[in-house]
Structure 1
Amino acid sequence: MNATTAVFEEWVRRFATLVAANRDYLTELDAAIGDADHGSNMDRGMQAAVAALDEAPSASAGAMFSKVGMTLVSTVGGASGPLFGTFFLRMGTSLGDSQDPTPLDVATALRAGLGGVVARGKAEPGDKTMYDALAPAVDALDNALAAQSPLSAGLKAAQEAAAAGRDATTPMLARKGRASYLGERSVGHQDPGATTVALLIEAAAESAF
């Protein structure tokens, strides 16, 4: 089954709800290795994104994701706005004006979003960043679709991979961002960006794809 713009919008709205519910937890994680503002920043950005979606319907999923991305870039401080904003912008560009994206189109868009995060943040595996949850999720979706699984099952596999990637950041030594300034003291703390990515993929898996 192909995805509709309404389902993609449901994904974004579910993500906003999860970010709001976990705002204090995300900020607590960030307090240990960052500026203690990740949760509040992402919540503000996603609420602004939802407000932008409420203002006018999007002509396509691509246009909707582009709107979300631009909103995050303009409203979220620190590295999170540019990184998550670029993720959504690249997804929007990948999907374009398509009114009926296929599961492969969805996976390709997620891969494009990951590419945007890499281009913007220069992150690599094991750097203790959002990449460590996002890359495994994208790989898991690709593998599931290659095995002829439906998109819904692929997103469930991606959710599990993102959660595992999130958990794997705890023992890592941070090599990027503000957390890297802490050196060895960054070890033992779960990365807030990777945690937010896990919420993003959870929201996708819970949507009606």
Structure 2
Amino acid sequence: MMKETYQLIQDNKEELSALDQEVGDGDHGTNMNRGFQAVVEELPNWEGETFATTLQKIGMTLISKVGGASGPLLGTGFMRLSASFKDEVNWGNGLESASEGIAKRGKAEVGEATLLDVWSAVGESVREHGLDWDRVADVSLDAMERTKALEAKRGRGALLGERSVGHLDPGAVSSYYLFQALARVMKGADD
């Protein structure tokens, strides 16, 4: 999953930075690429770890390697997933916990044009409809696209106020790539 995510981020890092240039400081693609590259480089060291422990280590790596707000937010999401997966892997509960952690860390709410919009929508879909990886992919795309119509209330985009409407949130786009990669890998594991 992380190798697939890294590949999507790497392939689209210029797009992510260009999106960030419209509403922020233009380094989102570079930061995300650096963070997921570090995760992929560490993966061999985590062989034999439980899924929960691996998620925790991914979260810690993202916090330390991804600059800006995205590192702490994504890292918190992974660490909350990890904590919820210690006893049982339940994606609905895990994504709900991750979304709550992201909201708390970022002092954000759904509808404020952030990566939380994607994480929360995916979690809600899984809780309501069960785990369907095609649905996860579709919901993440829809949630990411909806950020274009929202006024940014957090991050540098918030400084633009109403002028942020019409721009995709870079964190939502990179979260979309994360869930696309997860869906592809997990669908392959289910086949």
* TM-score after normalising by structure 2: 0.93
Q: State the Cα distance separating 1:108 from its structure 2 match.
A: 1.6
Q: State the Cα distance separating 1:166 from its structure 2 match.
A: 0.8
Question: Structure 2: 5+ residue runs without aligned partners?
Answer: none
| 1:36-75 matched pairs, under 5 angstroms | 36-75=26-65
Q: Deviation string for 1:70-111 (max 9, x for gaps)?
A: 001111111011000111111111112x5xx55xx1222222
Please say if 1:171 is aligned against 2:149.
yes
- How far, CA to CA, are the matches of 1:125 and 1:86 in structure 2? 16
- How far, CA to CA, are the matches of 1:156 and 1:117 in structure 2? 24
- How far, CA to CA, are the matches of 1:133 and 1:92 in structure 2? 19
Please say if 1:185 is aligned against 2:175.
no
| 1:67-146 matched pairs, under 5 angstroms | 67-96=57-86, 98=87, 101-102=88-89, 105-145=90-130
- How far, CA to CA, are the matches of 1:74 and 1:198 in structure 2? 21
SS in 2 for 1:74: helix
Paired residue total? 187
Is the 2:21–2:27 Cα contact (8 Å) retained in structure 1? yes
Q: Deviation string for 1:41-97 (max 9, x for gaps)?
A: 01100000111112341420001001110001111111011000111111111112x
Matched with 1:12 is 2
- How far, CA to CA, are the matches of 1:58 and 1:179 in structure 2? 41
* TM-score after normalising by structure 1: 0.85
Identity of aligned residues (%): 36
- How far, CA to CA, are the matches of 1:21 and 1:58 in structure 2? 29
Change (3 A) 1:107 1:12: farther
Question: Structure 1: 5+ residue runs without aligned partners?
Answer: 1-10, 146-150
- How far, CA to CA, are the matches of 2:114 and 2:94 in structure 1? 20
- How far, CA to CA, are the matches of 1:115 and 1:186 in structure 2? 24
SS in 2 for 1:169: helix
The residue type equivalent to 1:158 in the other structure is: V
- How far, CA to CA, are the matches of 1:186 and 1:180 in structure 2? 7
The residue type equivalent to 2:126 in the other structure is: L
- How far, CA to CA, are the matches of 1:49 and 1:121 in structure 2? 22
SS in 1 for 2:180: helix
Change (3 A) 1:92 1:183: same
- How far, CA to CA, are the matches of 2:95 and 2:121 in structure 1? 11
Is the 2:118–2:144 Cα contact (8 Å) retained in structure 1? yes
